[in-house]
Amino acid sequence: MASVKQHVALVSVHGDPAVEIGKEEAGGQNVYVRQVGEALARQGWQVEMFTRQSHSDRPSIVEHSSNCRTIRLTAGPEDFVPRDELFDYLPTFVDRLLEFQEHAGVRYQLVHTNYWLSAWVGMALKKHQKIAQVHTHHSLGAVKYRTVASKPPIASVRLETEQACIETAERAIATSSQEVEDMRSLVTPKGNIDVIPCGTDIERFGSISKLDARQKLGLDPNAKIAFYIGRFDPRKGIETLVRAIHLSELRNKTNFQLIIGGGSRPGQADGRERERIEQIVDELGLRSLTHFPGRIPDELMPAYYAAADVCAVPSHYEPFGLVALEAMASRTPVVASQVGGLQYSVVSEETGLLVPPQEDAAWAASIDRILSDETWQKQLGQAARARVVRHFSWESVASNLARLYTQLLESSLEK
List contacts with ligand UDP (CB under 6 A). 21-22, 27-29, 31, 229-231, 261-262, 295-296, 301, 320-323, 326
CB-nearer residue toward ligand UDP: 210 or 231: 231
Minimum distance, C-beta of residue 33 to ligand UDP, in the bound complex (Å): 11
Strand 352-355 relative to strand 110-114, pairing: unpaired
CB-nearer residue toward ligand UDP: 122 or 262: 262
Supply the DSSP string of 155-210, one letter for each residue. Answer: HHHHHHHHHHHHHHSSEEEESSHHHHHHIIIII-S-S-EEE----B-TTTTT-S-H
Minimum distance, C-beta of residue 323 to ligand UDP, in the bound complex (Å): 4
CB-nearer residue toward ligand UDP: 57 or 299: 299
Measured at CB, which residue is nearest to ligand UDP? Answer: 27
Exposed (0-12), middle (13-18) or buried (19+): which is 236, by Cβ within 10 Å?
buried
CB-nearer residue toward ligand UDP: 111 or 296: 296
Helix (H) or strand (E) holding 9: strand 7-11
Residue of 27, 29, 49, 28 whose CA lies nearest to 38 = 49
CB-nearer residue toward ligand UDP: 94 or 183: 183
Does residue 123 sit in helix, strand or coil? helix
Walk across the sheet containing 171-174 and list its strands: 61-65, 68-73, 46-52, 7-11, 110-114, 132-136, 171-174, 193-195
- E-strand ranges in 276-382 read 290-294, 310-313, 334-337, 352-355
Minimum distance, C-beta of residue 200 to ligand UDP, in the bound complex (Å): 8
Minimum distance, C-beta of residue 222 to ligand UDP, in the bound complex (Å): 26
Minimum distance, C-beta of residue 198 to ligand UDP, in the bound complex (Å): 7
CB-nearer residue toward ligand UDP: 183 or 311: 311
In contact, 271 and 264? CB cutoff 8 Å:
yes
Minimum distance, C-beta of residue 343 to ligand UDP, in the bound complex (Å): 14
